[in-house]
Structure formats: structure tokens, C-alpha cells
Structure 1
Amino acid sequence: MPATVMTFANFKGGVGKTSTTALVSYNLSKLGYKCLVIDFDAQANITSLLLKTKSNESDIITINTTLMAAINEQKELNEIIINIKPNLDLIPNAVDFSIYPRYLEKNFENEIDKVAFFSNKMDSLRAEYDFIFIDVPPTLSLLNDTAFYACNQIIVVLQTQERSLAGAEVFIQYLQDTLINEFNSNVDILGILPVLSKKGARVDQEILKAAIQEFGSDNIFNNKISIMERIKRMDMQGITDNQKDIHDRNVNKVFTDVAEEILKRLSSVKKEEV
């Protein structure tokens, strides 16, 4: 079976997409699924986070070739993979990726050729993994179009704030109008994953209620993420997984639950397709 290619996305920044990508892929790898994370952001936040995760176990970390360098040098993507831990690999990125849209504009005339470029570039990877996660910046752009076009599934990350809900609505409409209607993408939305600012907070509940009215309860993940101080620390220091530390256990339990719900939702999708 080829890999399921996914991204966590929203039009609005600061909703926890990168942390979610890192922790879901980390905990899926612990469940025995082979996962690859592709950093698709010139800020390289997930590259930094995962390399710090690796450095918790080993001090020797070298990035020989970034994603943009591999594209420029026409290297296969599997040549630049960095192993983070068993079942978890990374394709790293760096600031040079800011020229990626110009590369597409220079090398392809037709819009569909530009949009389909990265999906074609990934062909050699799909048979090697169970899951491939693409971590994207919070923009609607040609850069992200090429990432979304490569995906089978998108999970919309919804921080329970009014602007994030509006961003989710705009983002979903954009996917429909552009990727699906214009470029005939097969991408689907697996669901909407809420990120709560505080458990039980009134504003969280109001935004969740509005999201259910807008998108339907079946499309909202049952598992929800709360903003936790330990996640913020992991963003700076890498993912930690000390079973004697209650905060580590709590964070990884939350994302294991999200990972298991992803598996359940994907199983339902496959049954519907049969």
C-alpha cells in the first residue's frame, strides 16, 4: 500500500500545526507505523524541532542537503532523508526554500505542471512509508498548492478563536475552488482538529459549537488538543518521552489518541471507497 500523504493546515498561523505534525508523527511511529515528515517551510521550524528530538539521543546531526538543494540538484528525495528515531524520518528544510516558488515559475509554463511538480517528485517515497506528513506555512500560495496537491488527506487545525474559525472556512473553500475544481485534485479533508486555549473555557465551547454548526459534528475530531506548557517546551527543546515524567506522559497520550483517531477515520474512508 502506498503511503497516506497528509498535512495539518489552516489559513491562520499560530494554531499549532507544526507541533501537531511532529507529535502525531512521533506517536504514530511508536505505534509501529513508518513515518516521514517533510519540512515545507523556509522557517524550518519542524526541522529544528525534530533535530533537537534526535539530539536528545545523539549529538551528531548533520544536514548535508536541504530540500531546495535537492530540487535544484535534481536529487531523489530519499537521498536527503535524516533518521530521527525508529520509524520516524525527516526531509529537512532551510531558508533557501524561499526561492521555491520562483523555481516553479522559471521551470514550468502551465499551472498544472507547477502544482503537480512536488507530487511527482515524491513518487519514489510513497512505497517506503505508511504516512508522509508535509508541514506547510500558513499561507494560500503556489508553494502550498504543490504540497496540498501531493496529499491524500488534509486535517484542518482549528484553534478555538474566531479568526481561526474564519480561517478554516476560507481554507476549505479555497481547497474546493482551487485544488479540487481547478486542478482535479483527489485530496480530501479527514476532519477538523480543535486546539483548545483552555479546557472548559467559555470561548472554546462557543467556537466549537459554531464549528459543529458550520461543518457538522461528524467532521470534528472527538479528540481535542489543549495548549500545554510542556508542548511549548518541546517546541524549543525537542520531543521528550520520559515515562517517569507526568507532563511528558500526558502530552504523548493526547497525541497518541489523536493518532489513533486518524487511523480510525482513515479506516472508515477506505471502507466507504470499497
Structure 2
Amino acid sequence: MVKKIVFGNFKGGVGKTTNSVMFSYELAKQGIKVLLCDLDPQANSTQLLNRTYTKQHKSTLDFQKTMMVAVQDGDLRPAIVEMMENLFLLPSHVDFINYPDFLELKFPLGTENYKEARIAYFQQLLKEVEDDYDLIIIDCPPTISKFTDSAIYSSDYIIIVLQTQQRSLDGAGAFWEYAQTFYDNYPSTDFDIAGILPVLMKNDSAIDNQIISDAIELFGTDNVFDHIVKHSDRLKRYDREGISDKDFTDKWDYHDTKLHTLYTEIADELLSKIGGLS
């Protein structure tokens, strides 16, 4: 059965998008069929994967239909594009900013359970395609919004990405509390928090180590990933130029190997935290 994972934090710029894409990429390389859903109208996940595709194939991804149009048509399948073997993308676009207005028109005041109906709509559409995949990863904006609520409502697990700075820790705590309140408010949901993923701002920094210690004290040892995404200039390069892959380029070095090995190990830890895939 497919498992659906949301990457979140209520602080922007913490590496949430980068990590949702890197997890998707490494798991796909392991032979797991992954669908990455970009539920952020800023479309950062879409842009990163488009740059990756262009880097590897010397051409851009062909988007036949935007996700907003697909949502309006009630069928996500025509908007899904294949990035590479085992990795598929439900891309976002600037028109997805209209999603909340669309939901208000589709489920107006007076509709039975209209609040839940609005945030449950994406889950209903996702159900029609989810059996095509082993794992679905959802990236959402760092805001309390219909985008984030739709993502959480659709999820089985949540990963909170924690960059080692105080505002990110505050945002992680707020997201944790919001998820718990969300769970209480919508009994039909059934998700767990898979863990807190630490992302270092600076390697071997005292404040970074203190933030991780604070996170362990706040969330509990078992809820914080053992692996840590260390500060990496190569990862920044991937954000700008696309992900390097030795199967597509001869410009591959030790730093690429080290980074992909790290994400393979973290992906394995993620699978362990969610009980694997069956």
C-alpha cells in the first residue's frame, strides 16, 4: 500500500523543498516508484526538478497541463510528468495560487462540513492515482493555509525539517503543535509524525549543536533523525543547477558521491521510521 509523507515547517528557507526533492530522488534511484506533489504555488520543487531534468537531458520537462487545471478538471493524472525512471512529479505553477478560491467556490458556505470538504478534496483526487506509486511525497508552503491543510489531510506521515536556528526550531514546534490540533479537529485523518530532520546551517557550530540538543529535549530522542544533513555547498549548487547524477554526467566527484551516499542513508532511516513499504 502506498504511503504519503509531508515535509513541513512553519519557517521558510529551512531546506524543506530541497530535502523533499532529494529524498524523492534517492528513493527513486533505489527502485521505489515515487510521486512528488508540489503543493506550493511558488513551485520550488518543480523548478528544482525541471533544472535537474534539463541538466540531465538537455531539454526541459514538457508540462501538458498545470496542476490547477487538473484540479479543476477533477483528474490529476494528465498533469503528472515523468522525471526519470521511478520518479514522477505533480508540478505546481503560479496559477495554483487560485486553489483556495477554487475550493471556496466548489464548497461554499452552507455546504455540509464545508471546512473539511475543502481540505479533503486534494486527498480525493490523489486517491485516484496513488495506487500507481509506492511512495508519495508532498511539499507544501511554510504557512497555515489550504495548501498545507490539504497536504496534512492527505498524509500518512509528517517529517518536520529543522534548520539549526532558533526561528526554525520555533517553526518546527509550531508545526508539531498544529499537526496535533489538526489531528484532533479532523478525526477522519490518520497520520503520524515520522520525525524531525536536522539540517545544519554550519558544520561544527556550537549554536547548531545546541539547537539539535534543544530539539531532542523538546521532541524526544526517538523523534529526531539520527542522520543530520550537514551544511553543503554542493547541495546549494544542486538547488541552482539541478541534481548531479553520475549516470548522466562525467562531471562527478567526491563531493557528489558523499552527498548522495548521505541521502541514501537518510532515506533508509526514513523507511525504517515508517515501517518500510509493502
Structure 2-normalised TM-score? Answer: 0.92
Equivalent of 1:226 in 217, 224, 230: 230
5+ residue gaps in structure 2?
none
Residue aligning to 1:11: 10
User: How far has the Cα of 1:61 moved from its partner?
Assistant: 2.6
Does 1:254 pair with 2:262? yes
Note if contact 2:6-2:138 (Cα within 8 Å) is conserved in structure 1: yes
User: Secondary structure of 1:72's partner?
Assistant: helix
Note if contact 2:134-2:277 (Cα within 8 Å) is conserved in structure 1: no
Q: What is the letter of the counterpart of residue 15 of structure 1?
A: V
Question: What does the per-residue CA deviation read over 1:31-68, in whole Å, with 9 as the maximum and x for residues that have no partner?
Answer: 11000111111111111111121122321532110110
Residue aligning to 1:32: 31
User: Secondary structure of 1:41's partner?
Assistant: coil
Runs of 4+ in 1 over 2 A off after TM superposition: none
User: Secondary structure of 1:139's partner?
Assistant: coil
Residue aligning to 2:44: 45
Q: Identity, % of aligned pairs?
A: 39
User: How far has the Cα of 1:15 moved from its partner?
Assistant: 0.4
Does 1:105 pair with 2:104? yes
Q: What is the letter of the counterpart of residue 105 of structure 1?
A: E
User: How far has the Cα of 1:255 moved from its partner?
Assistant: 1.0
* Residues in 2 aligned to 1:268 and 1:50: alpha-carbon distance in whole angstroms: 25
User: Secondary structure of 1:198's partner?
Assistant: coil
User: How far has the Cα of 1:104 moved from its partner?
Assistant: 0.8
Residue aligning to 2:70: 70
User: Secondary structure of 2:56's partner?
Assistant: coil
5+ residue gaps in structure 1?
none
Change in Cα spacing, 1:158 to 1:269, as seen in structure 2 (3 Å) is farther
User: Secondary structure of 1:127's partner?
Assistant: helix
Change in Cα spacing, 1:215 to 1:78, as seen in structure 2 (3 Å) is same
Equivalent of 1:180 in 180, 183, 187: 183
User: How far has the Cα of 1:269 moved from its partner?
Assistant: 11
Note if contact 2:166-2:211 (Cα within 8 Å) is conserved in structure 1: yes
Structure 1-normalised TM-score? Answer: 0.94
Matched residue count: 267
User: How far has the Cα of 1:268 moved from its partner?
Assistant: 7.6
Residue aligning to 1:209: 213
Q: What is the letter of the counterpart of residue 233 of structure 2?
A: E
Question: What does the per-residue CA deviation read over 1:105-136, in whole Å, with 9 as the maximum and x for residues that have no partner?
Answer: 11113111011111111012221111111111
Residue aligning to 2:147: 143
Residue aligning to 1:132: 136
* Residues in 2 aligned to 1:139 and 1:268: alpha-carbon distance in whole angstroms: 29
Residue aligning to 1:195: 199
User: How far has the Cα of 1:73 moved from its partner?
Assistant: 2.5
* Residues in 1 aligned to 2:220 and 2:56: alpha-carbon distance in whole angstroms: 43
* Residues in 1 aligned to 2:213 and 2:144: alpha-carbon distance in whole angstroms: 26
Q: What is the letter of the counterpart of residue 238 of structure 1?
A: G
User: Secondary structure of 2:245's partner?
Assistant: coil
Question: What does the per-residue CA deviation read over 1:159-179, in whole Å, with 9 as the maximum and x for residues that have no partner?
Answer: 1111111111111111111x2
Residue aligning to 1:121: 125
CA RMSD of the aligned region, Å? 1.5
User: Secondary structure of 1:192's partner?
Assistant: strand
* Residues in 2 aligned to 1:124 and 1:198: alpha-carbon distance in whole angstroms: 43
Residue aligning to 1:156: 160
Note if contact 1:241-1:249 (Cα within 8 Å) is conserved in structure 2: no
Note if contact 1:5-1:132 (Cα within 8 Å) is conserved in structure 2: yes
